[in-house]
Amino acid sequence: MRLLITGGAGFIGSAFVRMTLNEHPEDSVVVLDKLTYAGNLANLEAVAHDPRYRLVRGDICDATLVGTLAGEVDVIVNFAAESHVDRSLEAPGHFIQTDVFGTYVLLEAARGAGHRRFLQVSTDEVYGEVRSGRSLESAPMRPRSPYSASKAGGEMLVAAYRASFGLPAIVTRGCNTYGPHQYPEKIIPLFITNAIDGLPLPIYGDGGALRDYLHVEDHCRGIDLALRHGRPGEDYNLGTGNEVSGVDVADMVLRLLGLPESLKQFVTDRPGHDRRYAVDSTKLGALGWVPKIDLPNGMEETVRWYRDHEQWWRPLKSGEFWEFYRRNYRPLSTGAASS
Ligand code: NAD
Ligand code: DAU
């Protein structure tokens, strides 16, 4: 299979590229990535010299480029996105451009090329907050942040291309993903890297919002399975059933690093903060998907990776990173911007 993997220099996309080239010797991969702040070629160092891999720096919104690349492959796997909820609250336009318009450009190219598969990497956030129970794939989409609304918009276009043009598209809706190579803005890598530097761990609101954390390798295995054995036209949830709060994440990180609880800092809540996500993954389970890495082991490995790879994350925590950080976080006690 010849795959066009968009967003392949990001966190999950790069893990998927590495996994595909490792586990499918006959496959080749073209990565299309704009290399935004979240894209990082260091994530692809392990495959940089593999003759089956090629990198194209470019934008999924560039229809000419995407059309050319689509003609050279059999399938598109779309990871490219603006992915951070807090940034979507500050600048929604980037999210609508990449996550909605960019998805349209890819779908149009896949249709033109007559591809036999299109896989859209989506998120459990499209269901909106789930106060009780677990969302099945048939549950309505009720996104509540500009990020999740833009991901839902991308999915709506996928649904339209299936129905209108018979495009054999599959959607995966993964839950919160963690592991090595994750840009240190998401809670787990942010808390680990802050803790290593003795900085406070900023917990939104009362720290009680619940998320389900999935190791990046398990997420990639699920996407690979859906791509190769899923039914075109179907959506597949990926979750583990964990229910972990912000306070739980802080406690785990501090315990693994042997640091004091006093590093926990409660900050003003994220506007519209979804209280809970929870999906039912029975459908992908029926194809044989079982997450293999449990959270305690995955967290231990991840903390060790960030301790051992300071050269990977230190350069990322500078300049624009801290400017965003100062704008985004406000300690509850004073209401002043944090540093
Ligand atoms: P990420 O932010 O680490 O990486 C996104 C990648 O997309 C980066 O390499 C970036 O340079 C690239 N990109 C952004 N805009 C682009 C554009 N216009 N054209 C080409 N490339 C562009 O994201 P991630 O956490 O790896 O997430 C990957 C996908 O998985 C996203 O679609 C996201 O919505 C979805 N997802 C993420 C999670 C999670 O917890 N991280 C969970 C479920 C689903
Ligand atoms: O559910 C899947 C989604 O998970 C993906 O689609 C998104 O791309 C990904 O960013 C992630 O979204 P979340 O908003 O759930 O992830 P984040 O790591 O930003 O936040 C996780 C929880 O931790 C959430 O309840 C907010 C809280 N949090 C987060 C940060 C960054 C904090 O308390 N403090 C923080 O500094």
For residue 9 and ligand 1, the question of a CB distance below 6 A is answered with yes
Catalytic residue among 33, 82, 86, 125, which?
A: 125
pLDDT tens over the chain, length 339 residues: 999 999 999 999 999 999 999 999 999 999 999 999 999 999 999 999 999 999 999 999 999 999 999 999 999 999 999 999 999 999 999 999 999 999 999 999 999 999 999 999 999 999 999 999 999 999 999 999 999 999 999 999 999 999 999 999 999 999 999 999 999 999 999 999 999 999 999 999 999 999 999 999 999 999 999 999 999 999 999 999 999 999 999 999 999 999 999 999 999 999 999 999 999 999 999 999 999 999 999 999 999 999 999 999 999 999 999 999 999 999 886 444 444
Query: Phi and psi for 48 in degrees, rounded to 5?
Result: -55, -35
**Tokens 């490792």, residue located:** 22
Three-state secondary-structure class, residue 60:
coil
Residue 147 annotated as catalytic: yes
Name the residue with the closest Cα to ligand 2, atom 30.
187
CA dist., res. 116 & res. 12, Å (int):
23
- For residue 45, give both structure tokens: 């160092």
Decide if 183 contacts 306 (C-beta within 8 A).
no
Name the residue with the closest Cα to ligand 2, atom 20.
187
Query: Which of 12, 134, 187 to mutate to test ligand 2, by most ligand atoms within 8 A of the CB atom?
Result: 187
Fold of 184-210+243-272+297-334: UDP-galactose 4-epimerase; domain 1 (3.90.25)
For residue 33 and ligand 1, the question of a CB distance below 6 A is answered with yes
Residue spans of the domains in the chain: they are: 2-177+213-238, 184-210+243-272+297-334
Buried/exposed 131-151: b ≥16 CB within 10 Å, e otherwise:
eeebbebebebebbbbbbbbb
Query: Does domain 2-177+213-238 fall into CATH 3.40.50.720?
Result: yes
Predicted TM-score of the model (pTM): 0.98
